[in-house]
Amino acid sequence: MALATARTSRDRSLSPETSRDAGVEVERQLVVAGCRTVAGVDEVGRGAWAGPLTVCVAVVAGDDLEGFPAGVRDSKLLSPRQRERLFAPVAEHLCCHGIGHASAEECDRLGMGAAQRLAASRALEVLDVSPDGIIVDGPRDFTGRSGALSIVGADRRCAVVAAASILAKVTRDRLMIAAAETNPGYGFERNKGYASVEHRLAVARLGTTPIHRLTWSVSPVVSVGGAGLLAAS
- Residues 4-44 have pLDDT tens digits of 433 333 334 444 455 689 999 999 999 999 999 999 999 99
Provide the domain limits for residue 203: 183-228
pLDDT of residue 12: 40
Pair type for strands 228-231 and 221-225: antiparallel
Domains contained in the chain, number: 2
Q: Are strands 149-151 and 133-137 parallel, antiparallel or unpaired?
A: parallel
pTM of the predicted structure, to 2 decimals:
0.87
User: Which of these three, 138, 153, 179, is where a domain ends?
Assistant: 179
Q: What is the model's pLDDT at position 233?
A: 26
Both 70 and 38 in one domain: the answer is yes
In a shared domain, residues 189 and 174 = no
Asked whether residue 40 is assigned to any structural domain, the reply reads yes
Asked whether residue 178 carries a pLDDT value surpassing 80, the answer given is yes
Asked if 65 and 98 sit in the same domain, the reply is yes
| 107 plus 193 within the same structural domain | no
Q: Computed from CA positions of residues 210, 215, 219, 222, in that sequence, does the dihedral angle turn out positive or negative?
A: positive
Q: What is the pLDDT of residue 226?
A: 42
CB atoms within 10 A of CB 171: 17
Q: DSSP letter for 120, please.
A: H
Q: In this structure, are 60 and 137 located in the same domain?
A: yes
Rg (CA), the chain: 19
Minimum mean pLDDT range among 3-17, 81-95, 153-167: 3-17
Residue 188 and residue 218 in one domain: yes
- CA 113 to each of CA 26, 108, 110, 116: distance values in angstroms, whole numbers, following the listed order: 25, 11, 8, 5
pLDDT tens digits for 180-201? 999 999 999 999 999 999 999 9
Q: Indicate if 161 and 196 belong to the same structural domain.
A: no
Average pLDDT over residues 98-114: 97
Give the chain's end-to-end CA distance (angstroms, integer). 59
Residue 2 lies in a domain: no
